Structure 1
């Protein structure tokens, strides 16, 4: 599978991840990896696991999350 962002630019680059929000395949150049704490919906804000989880996003979803 090729990176969606690269294909839009006319390049073919192998994807290494899938955006957790939109499902687009992304390469190492376009993926953003961050850690997040797993929280319990019934107890907002309470961390329920000591080890953080990994979350991968594409540039479009990253920009949307960071917009005011």
Structure 2
């Protein structure tokens, strides 16, 4: 799979990730990484723990999310 953003610029660059919002393939230059904390739902008798995770998005979706 190739990077969608690079393809729009007439370049062919291999994708290293898939945008979690729109599903486009993105290269290392265009991928945006955001640290997220995921909380597991509470069940009786269990302790709630936050888990480290990451969210990968393309630059277009990241800009749209930041504009809201």
Name which one, 1 or 2, has greater alpha-carbon Rg.
Answer: 2
The CA RMSD measured in Å over matched residues stands at: 1.8
Q: Which consecutive unaligned segments of at least 5 residues does structure 2 have?
A: 43-47
Q: Aligned residue for 1:24?
A: 24
Say which structure is richer in strand.
Answer: 2
Q: Which consecutive unaligned segments of at least 5 residues does structure 1 have?
A: 43-47
Instruction: Measure, in 1, the Cα distance between the counterparts of 2:61 and 2:41.
Output: 22
Instruction: Measure, in 1, the Cα distance between the counterparts of 2:20 and 2:49.
Output: 20
TM-score, with length taken from structure 2: 0.81
Encode CA deviations 1:1-57: one digit per residue, 9 max, x unaligned. 100000000000000000001100000000011110103578xxxxx4343101100
TM-score, with length taken from structure 1: 0.81
Instruction: Measure, in 1, the Cα distance between the counterparts of 2:3 and 2:41.
Output: 33
